[in-house]
Amino acid sequence: MRVVVTGLGTVQPFGVGVDSFRQGLREGRSAVRRVDDEITARYVRVVAAVPEFVPGEHLTHKQVTDTDRFTQLALVAAREALHDAGIVRDERISGILPRRIGVALGSAFGGVQTLEQGAAQLAVKPTGRVSPRLVSKAIPNAAAGAIAMAWDLEGPVVTYATACASSANAIGEAVYWLRAGVVDAVLAGGAESLYTPSILAGLGAAGALARTGPADERAWSRPFDRDRQGMVMGEGAAMLVLEPYDRALVRGAHIYGELIGYGASNDAYHETSPHPQGRGAAQAMSSALEAAHLDGSEVGYINAHATATPAGDAAEGAALRTVFGELIDRIPVSSIKGAVGHLLGTAGAIESLTCLLALDEGWLPPTLHCADPETWAPRDLVPDRAREQQVEVALSNSFGFGGQNAALVWRRHRQGG
């Protein structure tokens, strides 16, 4: 069975909606901003947060009060994707049984902001009372469950927590439901918002966060650059509607692209550091290409995970050379994390969305702020600005703590085939 994407939705550091995301990338802008919150500023100086997001402008009062921020982001992205696919009209599912729609969502942590707020209350007053919604707002499957309740989706609803590979795994695994005939469509993607003291302090202690950089703080996320210092934390949600190709044709839906390959692996090496030679990453890419029945010469673009950490970028560079050999210097490779930071559990979904826009519209997203590339980096990093270029196949990488690796292969849809 061929599986295609017919709907896109996102809330990310450029704002709400796919249009804001597309425009930011194509204009080569950075969504990294100086921290203006006193508590967050204790741990980092820059972030890539969603600007001016007011949940009440998009959601009901009950949805706002009963949910953590990561769920709120997911609900808004899900609505856009469902409307874009033509599956929701007037806020109701149309043309498909709700029990035949699944939700596959990735999130590294879930509602950690709510959890920390409750812990802070108890730290001040140990005998105090916390919200009766604390657990239901904080559990990792809260966002997926809220999406199901919002549109009465009664198919399988599963949350994947594989660190920064979470949403890539969610998208890849969703294909099995479709091919098994369990569902007729899947809303797949990720949601993450981790601006809390414990997460920021922990990532800082692990050496993962950028602490210094150029005078222009918007340029602190520097994938593949010799002077990269670490990642800039982003937040957001991205959702895709996946469905069988034949069904999409019958519906007359717009097809953004086809998912033709998925590979997953584990480094089995270290809790936080990737394998220095990118062994697991290379395995995931090779498995995805094998599933797609392609060799390296048929890949026209690679969306790298490249978070701008010293060890992570180097390991991915090694993995790319293992899989593609000398071809890697002739394939455009870019990381959007120079523009939007690292969206953690949402990374695989927002980067898959990027690949689908690139394939559908004929342009490639840039790698920002890589002024002095490492010698081992791919030669064509699509520097500084988007490029008008039509490619047929794109590979998207996602890697995470715990040695988690996922790769997705996307193919452009051409009218009539």
Active-site residue identified among 58, 61, 83, 164:
164
Is 370 an active-site residue?
no
Active-site choice (270, 293, 305, 369)? 305
The one-letter code for the residue type at 348 is G
At 283 the three-state DSSP class reads helix
* Residue that has been written with the tokens 């804001």 in this structure: 20
Count of other CB atoms within 10 angstroms of residue 102: 24
Q: Considering 58, 83, 270, 342, which one is annotated as catalytic?
A: 342
Q: Please report the DSSP string for 116-166 in residue order.
A: HHHHHHHHH-TT----TTHHHHHSTTHHHHHHHHHHT--S-EEEE--GGGH
Task: List C-alpha distances in Å: 304 to 7, 72, 331, 396, 402.
Answer: 23, 28, 12, 6, 19
Q: How far is CA 390 from CA 99, 197, 373, in A?
A: 38, 43, 25
The Cα–Cα gap between 263 and 292 comes to 10
Indicate if the alpha-carbon torsion angle 319, 323, 329, 334 is positive or negative.
negative
Is 254 catalytic? The answer is no
CB 203 within 8 A of CB 209: yes
Tell me whether residue 342 is one of the annotated catalytic residues: yes
Catalytic residues: 164, 305, 342
